[in-house]
Structure formats: C-alpha cells, structure tokens
Amino acid sequence: MEIDPVTLAILKGRFEQIADEMDATLFRSAFNPIIAEAHDASHGLYDAESGDTLVQGKSGLPIFVGVMAFAVKAVIKKAAAQGDVNEGDVWIFNDPYDGGTHLSDFRLVKPVFRDGEVFCFLASVGHWHDVGGNVPGNYNPAATECFQEGMLIPPVKLYDKGEFRQDVVDILSANSRQPMSLYGDLNGQINAMDLGEKRLNALLDEYGVPTARDALAALKDRAATMMRAQISNLPSGTISAEDWLDNDGIDDVPLKIALDMTIDGDRMVLDFTRSSRACQGPVNISRSTTIAACYVALKHIFGDVPANAGVLEPVEFRIDDDSLLSVTAPKPVGGYTETILRLIDVVFQAMSQVAPKSAMACAYGTINALSLAGHRENGARWVMFSFFGGGHGAHGAGDGLNHGNAPISTATIPPLEILESAYPVRFTKWALRPDSGGPGQYRGGLGAIYEISLLEKDADVFLFGERGKVPPRGVVGGMDAATNRFYYEQSDGEHSPPMKSKMVGIHIERGQHVRLETPGGGGYGDAFKRDPEKVLKDVVQGYVSAETVRETYGVVLTDGVVDQAATKALREERSA
C-alpha cells in the first residue's frame, strides 16, 4: 500500500522516538558510569523475519545498532531450532561471534506480538562494568583466547513465556567482580525494553499494523534508493587504502587493514581480502562486526540516508574466512573497538580519493581503554574502567573537533567528577594536547592529556590502546596527527609500555600517576594553503606552538603578528 509522505514522516519520528526513549531509560537507570554517563549502549527495532535493522535511536552507539541485526538473526535461528518465539520471551547473550562485538556488551532481544504474530523485535545492548576474565574491566591486551576475556553466554532465555529466570542472573552475577553494577544495568535494560514495547503498542493501536509495516518498508526502500543514488554519483573504478594496527598485544608486529573499494554504477564492493590474517591477540573481530563498522563509516559519509538496513543493500562485502576481520571462537576479540576504528579510517581514506569534498581525515583512532583496579581499606574491590577522547579529522568544510569521542559512536567521555566520586583516583590534568592535530588547510582536532593519580594504597593498571606507532592519517594532502603516548609512574620514575599502546600488570602505589596523551585528528588539504590568520589564532589559543608554524604552515610570525610578505615569500619558495 502506498503511504502518504506526511504519515511516513510522522511514523518515522514516532519509531525513532521509541528507540530514543529506550536509550534515555537505560542511561538514567544504569549503575555503571560507562552506560549512565558515557552512553555506551543502544536500542533499536528489528525485522520479525530477517532481523534487519528497521529503526535506530539517535543517542546510542551506531556500531551496536548495525551489529544487533546479526544478534537478532541469531535469536530467530535459535528460537526456530527450539520450537518458536513465544510471547513474553526475552533472550540474553554476549556471544561476540554470533551478532556481538566483545564480551562486555550484553544484548537483550524481545519479540513484540500483535494478533498472535511477531510484529518486530526490540533489542537492547549495553557495556557492562565487568564480566569476569583475567583483567578487571575485560580489556585484556594479552588474551590469546576468548576465555581470558570474560564469560561467554550464548543466546539463552532470561524470560521464558513471561517467567523470569533467576538462575540465569545468578550465573551472570557469580562471574562478575561488580555484581551490583551488573544487577543495575540488567534491570535498566529490562525496563527500557518494557517501555519500548508499551510505546510501540500505543503506536500500533493508533495507526494499525498494516500502516506501520508499510511505513517501515518504505523507509528501508528509501534508504536503499538514496544510497544507490549517492554511489552512482561517484566515479566508477577501484581505489585502495591501507592502514595499520600497532600490534596484537602478543607479537609486536603491525597488522594491515586493507580496502579495495570498487564503484560500479550504483553498487559498491568493499574488498578486505588483502588484510592481515587472524592473529593471536585480541584485535580480531567477527564478520558481522566488520560489516557493522562499514555501515557506520558509510553513514558518516552519506549522512542524509535514513539509518536502516537499506543502507547496505547496494554494498557487497568480500572478507576472507581466515582474516582478522572474520574470526570465530575462540579467537580473542576484546579489543574490537581498535580494529573497527581502523576500518572506518580506511573507508574515509578511500573515499577521499573519489569524493574529496565530502571526505574526512582520520580521527584519533583509539578509545584507550584504561582499567585501574584494587581493594579499598575495608577490603571492598573497586574497578575503574573508562575510555578517553582525542581529536577528530579535518574535512573539506573546516577543522576537526577537539577532544571528541570515537566516530564509532555518539557516546560521551565520562566526566572526571563522576570518575573521581566513584573511584579512589584524582585527575591532576585534563587538558588539550598542543600540536597533536594534523596540519592542513583545515587542521585536525586536538587530542587530550589525562593524568590520573592514585589515592588508595595500591592498584593494578591495564591499558588497551592503539595509534602508538602509526599516526592518524591526513587526507587530500593534509598531514598526519600525533601518535598516542602512555606513561606510568613507579618508584624509579616514569615508564612507557614496550609495545607503546598495550600493557597488562602495571602496579602503582598511592600518589603515583598514569598519563595518557591521546592523538589528534588528521589534517585536510595542503597546510601551506591555511589562512595565516587562522594559524596565528591557533598559536594564540595554544593549539599550535609558535616554533612549529614556520615549518608546518609556512607562516612567519614577528612580534606576535603575521609577517604577510615573509609568509608569502616562504610559501612560494617551498612550493617552487
């Protein structure tokens, strides 16, 4: 049935509002700061038969929304094998190889029935505080199998025909260092799903099931049509891009992420077959996670296309089965965030060659997952896990964002006030990092400096980061950004990890500190084309040091002002 544009627009907003309210419900009720403050969670509506993404919220993580389609498919498959989906069922799991990301991300999937049939599935995913494994907080850079990263739960029923299964919760709680946090996050997700079902039923009561189904189908068709139109505007041919991960945490050998992108009319092929093979350490990811990361990258580039499964209809993926981008159990996948960021980077780099005006330089490229853990004086265990920000890449319309969060998400960096109130730490520095953004006609955003001092007797520290060796790339002639740096203090002074960005088992004592100096974003365009007055403004604001601008930007400063004649002469000399 043809649906009129006004009704379609109203229903689009209503569906999105359901997902947004689910997000807000969890953010307000979760015990864990990573969900409550950083918003490391997401909700969406998924197709009753295929599991495809129908609607995503605007506040949750897009990478979760993309990969959750595979999670819902896993539930549909398992339910069919066990009989069928029943009204009142809710499934829970964190399997990273079957519609997951890594073991910290727990998923709930719930069918919504109308007239005895499943209308759609609601899904919730949130990053839990601690799910066991060798490392508090679960980012274990030394893991060689998933069992060292945490408990692995396949799809099981949390509710069976409406009956709550306390035994499942007991098993989960027994495997966490932070069972109360787990309890609060789980109940927050349950409440979010209940609210989503209530809001969806109200919508269906008002508009009817046929009209709602027609609207969802129309939105998917529209996304596919718009995506084909966007692709057809690109020049046909094959373009390539490569980038690197520092190492896998086990062997100090760089790992290649390679993309050959082919544009053929209104279709696109993303070929990753030249990428490195599966590795020992935890920077592997599953095929579903690879596809979801590309979905996020394409949505960054083609922002006007509605966010649903239609985005990927004109896109073909080629990924070898033995690639680090397509692993199965028990290969470790705990550091998936680092690898999907590199996937987004290579998509951005490839697009810069065919659509430079809409291209973006690489963002800082690591979440710098940092855990500090120990025991309080009363014997209670504490685990601080957090991720940290950096600079975003410049683009054809302006400079990159200073101190933003990773482009895999719309999450926020947890406020230091929340972290200091929850854990025995003090932030002695939280500042922008000068000279960290890549120079260019448009400058990359600045990274940050975080210094954290320990207030308790002692603690163990674990870092899982990237971009310690290979910097975030500039595009369209822009320069690279600064690399990642990490320091930890001990009685004999400051040290850095041998592998630059990953380390386990660091022990610090009261008063000692750790410090992150995060990368900036890559630059866009020739730095010698940057407006000299903008360069001066950067110097005045402390973003760029005065000593560097002559070499990087070809700008001569005399007595705090731009020497226009000397700058023009220097730039002409350098470009000759």
Q: Same domain for 457 and 542? A: no
What is the C-alpha to C-alpha distance for residues 571 and 555, in angstroms, rounded to an integer? Answer: 8
pLDDT tens by residue, the chain, 576 residues: 678 999 999 999 999 999 999 999 999 999 999 999 888 999 999 999 999 999 988 787 778 877 889 999 999 999 999 888 999 999 999 999 988 899 999 999 999 999 999 999 999 999 999 999 999 999 999 999 999 999 999 999 999 999 999 999 999 999 999 999 999 999 999 999 999 999 999 999 999 999 999 999 999 999 999 999 999 999 999 999 999 999 999 999 999 999 999 999 999 999 999 999 999 999 999 999 999 999 989 988 888 888 889 999 999 999 999 999 999 999 999 999 999 999 999 999 999 999 998 889 999 999 999 999 999 999 999 999 999 999 999 999 999 999 998 887 667 788 999 999 999 999 999 999 999 999 999 999 999 999 999 999 999 999 999 999 999 999 999 999 999 999 999 999 999 999 999 999 999 999 999 999 999 999 999 999 999 999 999 999 999 999 999 999 999 999 999 999 999 999 999 887
- Residue 256 CA to residue 206 CA, distance in Å, equals 52
User: What is the secondary structure of 276-296 as a DSSP string?
Assistant: PBP-SSTT---HHHHHHHHHH
Same structural domain for residues 523 and 546?
no
Q: Is 206 inside a domain boundary?
A: yes
Q: How many CA atoms lie within 13 A of 482 on its CB side?
A: 23
- Cα separation, 6 vs 15, in Å, equals 14
Distance CA 565, CA 476 (A): 27
CB-based burial label for 24 (10 Å; 0-12, 13-18, 19+): middle
**CA pair distance 86, 247, nearest whole angstrom:** 46
In a domain, 35, yes or no: yes
Pair (490, 397) in one structural domain: yes
What's the CA gap between 265 and 27, in Å, rounded? 43
Kindly state whether residue 321 falls inside one of the protein's structural domains.
no
20 is written with which tokens? 């947004």
Residues 428 and 563 in one domain: no
Residue 351's closest CA among 478, 531, 476? 476
Q: Is residue 375 part of a domain?
A: yes
Instruction: Look up residue 236 and give its two tokens.
Output: 């046909």
16 and 162 housed in the same domain: yes
* Widest CA span in the chain: 80
- Asked, for residue 244, whether it belongs to a domain, the answer is no
d(CA 115, CA 98): 30
Q: Last residue of a domain, which of 223, 251, 286?
A: 223
Q: How far is CA 373 from the centre of its chain?
A: 24
**Among 169, 196, 223, residue at a domain's last position:** 223
What does the pLDDT read at residue 409?
67
DSSP 385-437: EE---BPPPPBTTBPPPSSB--TT----PPPHHHHHHHSSEEEEEEEE-TT-S
Q: Is 77 helix (H, G, I), strand (E, B) or coil?
A: helix
- In the structure encoding, which two tokens stand for residue 470, read together? 């290979």
Co-location of 402 and 505 in the same domain: yes
- Domain-embedded: residue 182: yes
DSSP 236: P
| Burial of residue 170 (number of CB atoms within 10 Å: 0-12, 13-18, 19+) | exposed
For residues 300 and 345, is the Cβ–Cβ distance under 8 A? no
Do 141 and 217 belong together in one domain?
Answer: yes
Indicate the residue type of 168: V
Bridge partners, residue 106, by sequence: 126
SS3 367: coil
Spatial distance between the Cα atoms of 266 and 196, rounded to a whole number of angstroms:
36
One domain for residues 45 and 87: yes
In degrees rounded to 5, what are phi and psi of residue 414?
A: -55, 135
Residue 39 lies in a domain: yes
Do 422 and 556 fall within a single domain? no
- Regarding whether 185 and 145 lie in a shared domain, the answer is yes
Burial of 456 (0-12, 13-18, 19+ CB in 10 A): middle
Domain endpoint, select from 191, 223, 255? 223
Residue 421 CB-density burial (10 A; 0-12 exposed, 13-18 middle, 19+ buried): exposed
Report how far residue 85's alpha carbon sits from residue 290's, in angstroms, rounded to the nearest whole number: 28
110 Cβ neighbours under 8 A, 6+ residues apart:
89, 90, 91, 121, 122, 123, 193, 196, 197
Assess contact for 506 and 461: CB atoms under 8 A.
yes
| Whole-angstrom distance, CA of residue 474 vs CA of residue 273 | 24
Domain for residue 212, yes or no?
A: yes
Same domain, 160 and 90: yes
pLDDT at residue number 1: 61
- The range of the structural domain enclosing residue 443 comes to 360-528
Both 536 and 524 in one domain: the answer is: no
| Token pair for 263 | 């544009």
Number of domains, the chain: 3
